Amino acid sequence: MAESFPKCYFTGMTPAEIKLLPVDQKFQIMESIWADLHEQIQGMEISQSVKNLLDQRRASVESGESKLLEWDDVKSTIGRR
């Protein structure tokens, strides 16, 4: 995927230069970054402390103590405080 981008994208662009890129090119870069991160993360181990935290949160939801929220509902509350 990286071969489709001009070499300058991978030699260090400043935030100002990135802002000047067309939206479609920004999306292409983001997709490449996410694909790369996904590959790297797949091989990572999750620590026991993180597994324990996730188990606690799952149990809290299953017991009714906590509830899952839809992301759109959460987004609509951001900045209201």
On whether both 50 and 35 belong to a single domain, the answer is no
Confidence of residue 41 (pLDDT cuts 50, 70, 90): confident
On whether both 1 and 38 belong to a single domain, the answer is yes
Using DSSP, state whether 46 is helix, strand or coil. coil
For all residues of the chain together, what is the average pLDDT?
85
Q: What is the pLDDT of residue 49?
A: 95
On whether both 77 and 52 belong to a single domain, the answer is yes
pLDDT over 90 (residue 81):
no
Give me the number of domains the chain comprises.
Answer: 2
- d(CA 54, CA 51) in angstroms, rounded, equals 5
On whether both 37 and 57 belong to a single domain, the answer is no
Over residues 45-62, the mean pLDDT reads 94
Contact 18, 26 (CB under 8 A): yes
Of 3 and 19, the one with more pLDDT: 19
